[in-house]
Amino acid sequence: MKRTILDTDPGVDDALAILLALGSPELHVVGISAVSGNVELARCVRNALRVLRLTGRMDLPVHAGASRPLIREPFRAEIVHGRDGLGDAGVSDAGRGADSEDAVGFLVRTLRADPGAISLVATGPLTNLALAERQSPGVLKQAREVIVMGGAVREQGNATPTGEFNFVADPHAAREVLHAGANLTLVPLDVTHRCLLAEEAVRRRIAPLRTPVSDFIARTTALCRAYMKNVEGVEGFHLHDPLAVGVGIDPSFCETEVMRLDVETEGGLTAGQVVADRRVFVDERLLNGSNVRVCVGVDRKRFVEFFLERVLK
């Protein structure tokens, strides 16, 4: 059982990722750190707590982290996730607030206390992780693994023509984390865009169950499903963040390749773009970026079925 921290900005698919993590015996979630992203920080904290209330896991700590990116102005995704971050579905509040320790301190303390033991799954902008590395250089190397949902390597972006939302929301943090030398696996849009939970599955397998969790999934995803249909012509929604948790549970869901990656931070059109240096040089010192393990292929059907079985059981 992997002791795991979820660093997240709930967000609908982040909430589904939390459900998957808490419903999987392979993971022992020791805490949640929230970061500003899909919606403002206070709403992200509130939504993490809402999911814990839904699952009966109010014992888990939730720590509030960065309220804004390192440098750029906040960048939100309310058009997809709703003003409250959970599809404006009227989900009940948890009745408690965040723990007193801030997320950055929690990350540093927990990773330093037990080197090589903690898996860190990040499904939001990487601001908390970058601040932890700044506060305690080398701390991300102390994690057993760092799994990041973010970036688009060969795939087009979803927030800009070339950039995935989490990396566009804080490109400077993404760049610092990719250069931190951690045992990092990147789960980019290249694979998450292939993991579609079809509209038919919502209608036939989720909604009819009428359990608290199935009702939560059907209600909170309604807005993003409508957005996907109206804007992208897609019948369903992508399991971006749940796939990152899935890789933490079973790495065989994805095929990986080590690439030399960097992140553009300044371009008006390209901030947050992942740049892979594929040039063939004998001397690797001439290449830009850092070596990162990147998910390049995914067993889509197996993962989607796994997700449904775990969250609906």
Place of tokens 């904290």: 45
- 276 forms bridges with which residues in the sheet? 261
Q: State how far the Cα of 150 lies from the Cα of 73, in Å rounded to an integer.
A: 19
Per the structure block, which two tokens stand in for 71? 């440098």
Which residue out of 63, 81, 238, 240 is catalytically annotated? 240
Distance of CA 122 to the CA centre of its chain: 5
Q: State how far the Cα of 85 lies from the Cα of 89, in Å rounded to an integer.
A: 9
| 63 among known catalytic residues | no
- Which 3-state string (H, E, C) describes 132-197? HHHHCCCHHHHCCEEEEECCCCCCCCCCCCCCCHHHHHCHHHHHHHHCCCCCEEEECHHHHCCCEE
Q: Which residues contact 170 (CB under 8 A, 6 or more apart)?
A: 69, 70, 72, 125, 126, 127, 130
Q: What is the DSSP string of 237-282?
A: EE-HHHHHHHHHH-GGGEEEEEEEEEE--S-TTTTT-EEE-----S
Secondary structure (3-state) at 116: coil
180 contacts 133 by C-beta, under 8 angstroms: yes
Which of 157, 171, 151 is closest to 259 using CA atoms?
151
Number of H helices, E strands in the chain: 13, 11
> From residue 9, how far is each of 59, 252, 286 by CA, in Å?
20, 26, 36
**Residue positions annotated with a catalytic role:** 240
